Amino acid sequence: MKIISETLILVKRSLIRYTRVPQLLVFSTIQPVMFVILFAYVFGGAIKTSINYVDYLLPGILVQTTLFGAMMTGIGLADDISHGMIDRFRSLPMSRGAVLAGRTISDLLRNVFVIFLMVGVGYIIGYRFEGTFMGALGALFLMLLFGFAFSWISALIGIAVKDVETAQSAGFIWVFPLAFISSIFVPVEGMPKIFRLFAENSPITYTVDAVRRFSVNQPVDYTFWASIIWLAAILITFIPLAVRQFRKIS
Amino acid sequence: MNSDLIQYIQEAKVSGMSDGEIQAELLSVGWNHGDVRQAFLDNISPELENPPIEQSEKIEAVVSVRGLIKHYGSVRAVDGIDFEIPKGSILALLGPNGAGKTTLVRMLGTLITPDSGQALIGGHDVIKSPDDVRKIIGLTGQFSAVDMVLTGRENLVMIGRLCHLSKLEAENRARELLIRFGLSDAADRQVKTYSGGMMRRLDVAASIIAHPEVLFLDEPTTGLDPHGRIELWHIIKELVAKDVTVLLTTQYLDEADHLADQIVVIDKGKIIAKGTSQELKAQVGGDVLELHLTDHSQAHRAAAAIEALGIEKPRIEELEAHIFMPVRGGASVLADAIRRLDQARIDLADIVLRRPTLDDVFLKLTGHVAG
Ligand SMILES: Nc1ncnc2c1ncn2[C@@H]1O[C@H](COP(=O)(O)OP(=O)(O)OP(=O)(O)O)[C@@H](O)[C@H]1O
Ligand SMILES: [Mg+2]
C-alpha cells in the first residue's frame, strides 16, 4: 500500500529530527521530571492515597507525559505549515493521510522512549512496578493508545491554527484542565462535586486508574474498558476531522 | 470607446494574431497607446476571450488556462487570466509585488482552488483531478520549503521516495542533482547550515527529482547571486530541451527576456500584455533615449529641451538624475538632442540611444517600475 510506505518515510523523517535535535526529547522529559519531584516531595506528604504515594503518582505521571507529549503533534504540524513543508507535501502525488499518520506515529514511538525514561526516573525515587509482564505490556499498550488518540486532537488544533505559538498556547488551554481535573495527581474523592463528576468520567482518569491497577497487580476492571472505549471514540471522531481540516489547508 | 479599434482587434484575433502582434501593429500605424490598451482591457465579447478548448489545442498546449479567477475577500488576486504553454517551452509570468503571480502558481500547483475558470495541466483539470495533476508537476514555491534539520541529500531522497521512486532510484537521482546544483560538498550537512542561495537551489532540485513534465517555479532566482542565477538558467534550459514545460514567475525583466519563449505581464490580477520579448519591446515604439545628468536640479529643464524629439513625454527619475524618452529616428535624434541640451546649458554625465528593454515596456504598461 502506497500510504504505508509514505507514512514510514515521514516517520523516519521525524525520528531523524529527534536524533539531530535531542533537546526536543530532553525538554519533553524535564517537565514531567519536575512534576515527579514537585508532587513526590513537596505536595506528596499532604496527599492521602490508599497506596504509597510514589506508587500512586508514577502511573499518573506517565499518562500526563504522553498527554503533554501529544501537544507536540500539533506544534510540529503547525511548524511544518508555517515553513512551507506541508505545501511541498501537498504538491506531491502522495496520500493526504500519510502526512498526519507520519507525524502521529512518530510521536507514538517517541512516547515509548519517554515512558521508559520516566519509569527509570520513578525507580530512582522508589517507585516499583509490582504487576506481571503481561500487565506491563497492557499498561504500555494503553498509554500508547492514549497518546496516539490525543495526538489526533492536537493534530486538528495544529492544522487549524497553523502557527507554532498559537498551537502551543491553544494546547495548554485544553490539556491543563484535563490533566489536573483527573486522578493523575490526587484521588478524585477529595474534589468538589462538580470537578469530581468531571474527573470521574474523564478518559484521563480511566486510563490512569487502569494503568495503576496494572502497576499494583490488580486484575483488569471496567476502568480499562472505559478507557479503551473513550480512546476509540476519540480516534473515530478526530481522525476524520483532522484529515478534513488538512484538506482545507490553502 | 473606439468601436473601429475594437472591431479591428476582433478581426485580427480571429485571423489568429497574438495580442502582442496586434498591439504592435496598431501602434505602428499610429494608434495612441492608451486607446489600444483600453481597447484590449475592455475587450471583446466573452466567446472570443474564452473560446472553448479544442481537442487539437489540448495536445499542443501542455498548460492551458482559461478565465482563472481567485478572490481573497474583496481582493481579486487573480482576475480572469488566460494563456497556454506549448510543450517544451517556457512562459515567464512578470508582474510587480501583489500582481497575483504566486496566487496563480498555487492554483496551477493544486495548492488552492480557483473560484472560477479552468486550468488544464497535461490535459488534467486542476479542480476535478488534482491527483493526476500532481503526478506530472514539480512546484517550487516562492519561499524555500526544505527540512532544515535533515541534510540536503536526505531532503532530496525523502521527496523522491514520496514521489514513489524506489530507494535506489531516489538515491541515484539525489546524487545526480546534488552535483548538478553544485551542492555535493554540502550534501551531507544539515540544511540549516546552508546559505540562502544553497537552500534555494536545493528547493528547486527537490521539485525536479521525479522528472516532472511540467515545472512551476515561483521566483526561482530571487536571492541567488549572479553566478547562481545563470547556473539555474542553464538548468532550466536543459530541462526544456528535454521537453519539460516551464512556467516561472520573476521580478527580473532580463530573466524573462533571456529565458522565456512567451512573456505574460500581469498587474492587479489581470494580463496587461502578452507576447514574445520582441513583441513586447515593439510596443514601446522606437528606441529609448536615456540621459544621465550631473546635477539633478536641471532635470526638468533638460526634459523640456528634448521633449519635442520624443514620441512620448520624457520620464524623469529625479533622485538619480535620469531621464528616459522613447524616440524614433535613429542616430540623428541623438545628435539633435545633444545640440538642444548644449543650448540649454545642461551638464550631461552620459547620453545613450538604446533598444528598449523589458523595463521600458513594463513601465509603459503599468505606469511604475517593476519590483
Ligand atoms: N492568503 C491570502 N489572503 C488574503 N489575501 C491574499 C492571500 N494571498 C494573496 N493575497 C492577496 O492577493 C494579491 C496577490 O498576491 P500574490 O501573492 O499572488 O502576488 P505576487 O504577484 O506573488 O506578489 P510578490 O511579487 O510580492 O510575490 C495581493 O493583493 C495579496 O495581498
Ligand atoms: Mg509571489
Q: Which ligand is nearest to the CA of A250?
A: 1
Average pLDDT rounded to a whole number, residues A3-16: 95
- Work out the angle at residue A187's Cα, subtended by the Cα atoms of residues A185 and A188, and round it to the nearest 5 degrees: 110
Grid cell listed for B100: 497575483
CB contacts, 8 Å: A17 with chain B = 147, 149-150
Q: Which residues of chain B have pLDDT under 50?
A: 1, 44-59, 370-371
**Distance between CA atoms of B49 and B68, rounded to whole angstroms?**
12
- In Å, the largest CA–CA distance within chain B is 75
So what's the pLDDT on residue B319? 76
pLDDT digits (tens, 9 = 90+) for B117-167: 999 999 999 999 999 999 999 999 999 899 999 999 999 999 999 999 999
* Minimal CA separation from A77 to chain B, in Å: 13
Instruction: Answer whether B281's CB lies under 8 Å from B356's CB.
Output: yes
CB contacts, 8 Å: A89 with chain B = 162
Taking CB atoms and an 8 Å limit, are B158 and A5 in contact across chains?
no
| Type and span of the H or E element at B197 | helix B196-207
Residue B55: alpha-carbon gap to chain centroid: 27
Chain A, chain B: beta-carbon pairs less than 8 Å apart:
63
B51 CB near ligand 1 (under 6 Å) = no
**Distance between CA atoms of B173 and A232, rounded to whole angstroms?**
42
This complex has an ipTM of 0.90
Among candidates A201, A203, A185, which has minimal Cα distance to A143? A203
Count of beta carbons in the 10 Å neighbourhood of residue A17: 16
B98 CB near ligand 1 (under 6 Å) = yes
Residues sharing a CB contact under 8 Å with residue B211, sequence separation 6 or more, in sequence order: none
So what's the pLDDT on residue B168? 97
CB contacts, 8 Å: A250 with chain B = 111-113
**Distance between CA atoms of B36 and B39, rounded to whole angstroms?**
5
Determine which of A92, A95, A246 to mutate to test the interface with B (most B C-beta atoms within 10 Å).
Answer: A92
B72 CB near ligand 1 (under 6 Å) = yes
So what's the pLDDT on residue B331? 82
**Ligand 2 midpoint to CA B95 (Å):** 9
- Work out the angle at residue A95's Cα, subtended by the Cα atoms of residues A74 and B121, and round it to the nearest 5 degrees: 120
* Minimal CA separation from B146 to chain A, in Å: 6
So what's the pLDDT on residue B56? 46
Average pLDDT rounded to a whole number, residues A66-89: 94
* Minimal CA separation from A2 to chain B, in Å: 8
Q: Which amino acid is at A59?
A: P
Among candidates B333, B272, B331, B279, which has minimal Cα distance to B306? B333
Instruction: Answer whether B120's CB lies under 8 Å from B64's CB.
Output: yes
Which residues make up the environment of ion ligand 2, defined by Cβ < 5 Å?
B 101-102, 142
Instruction: Answer whether B250's CB lies under 8 Å from B92's CB.
Output: yes
**Distance between CA atoms of B138 and A162, rounded to whole angstroms?**
24
**Ligand 2 midpoint to CA B139 (Å):** 13
Q: Which residues pair with B78 in a beta bridge?
A: B70
**Distance between CA atoms of B80 and B100, rounded to whole angstroms?**
11
| Domain B286-355 fold | Alpha-Beta Plaits (3.30.70)
Q: If you compute the radius of gyration of chain A from its CA atoms, what whole number of angstroms results?
A: 18
- Work out the angle at residue B95's Cα, subtended by the Cα atoms of residues B94 and B96, and round it to the nearest 5 degrees: 145
Count of beta carbons in the 10 Å neighbourhood of residue B120: 22
Residue A9: closest C-alpha in chain B: B158
Atom of ligand 1 nearest to the CA of B101: 21
Q: Which ligand is nearest to the CA of B98?
A: 1
Q: What percent of chain B has pLDDT over 90?
A: 53
Q: Which amino acid is at B336?
A: D
Residue B131: what are its φ and ψ, rounded to 5°? -65, -40
**Distance between CA atoms of A71 and B129, rounded to whole angstroms?**
34
Residues sharing a CB contact under 8 Å with residue A207, sequence separation 6 or more, in sequence order: A63, A142, A143, A146, A223, A227, A230, A231
Grid cell listed for B77: 488576486
So what's the pLDDT on residue B127? 95
**Distance between CA atoms of A113 and B298, rounded to whole angstroms?**
76
Three-class DSSP category at B110: coil
pLDDT digits (tens, 9 = 90+) for A13-71: 999 988 898 887 777 788 888 888 888 888 877 888 888 899 999 999 999 999 999 99
Among candidates B221, B156, B164, which has minimal Cα distance to B183? B156
| Type and span of the H or E element at B61 | strand B61-72
Average pLDDT rounded to a whole number, residues A166-183: 90
CB contacts, 8 Å: A97 with chain B = none
Residues sharing a CB contact under 8 Å with residue B192, sequence separation 6 or more, in sequence order: B148, B149
Atom of ligand 1 nearest to the CA of B96: 25
So what's the pLDDT on residue B311? 84
A91: nearest CB among B139, B146, B158:
B139
Residues sharing a CB contact under 8 Å with residue B32, sequence separation 6 or more, in sequence order: none
So what's the pLDDT on residue B139? 97
In b/e form, how buried is each residue of B213-230, taking b as 16+ CB within 10 angstroms? Answer: bbbbbbbbbbebeeebbe
**Distance between CA atoms of B275 and B22, rounded to whole angstroms?**
10
Q: Where are the domains of chain B?
A: 3-47, 55-281, 286-355
B55-281 CATH, one of 3.40.50.300, 3.30.450.90, 3.40.50.970, 1.10.287.610: 3.40.50.300
**Ligand 1 midpoint to CA B99 (Å):** 7
So what's the pLDDT on residue B158? 97
| Type and span of the H or E element at B136 | helix B130-136
Percentage helix, strand, coil for chain B under 3-state DSSP, each rounded to 5: 45, 25, 30
Grid cell listed for B233: 538558467
pLDDT digits (tens, 9 = 90+) for A198-243: 999 999 999 999 999 999 999 999 999 999 999 999 999 999 999 9
Three-class DSSP category at B121: strand
B145: nearest CB among A12, A21, A87:
A87
Count of beta carbons in the 10 Å neighbourhood of residue B255: 23
So what's the pLDDT on residue B51? 46
**Distance between CA atoms of A170 and A168, rounded to whole angstroms?**
6
Read off the pTM. Answer: 0.82
So what's the pLDDT on residue A158? 96
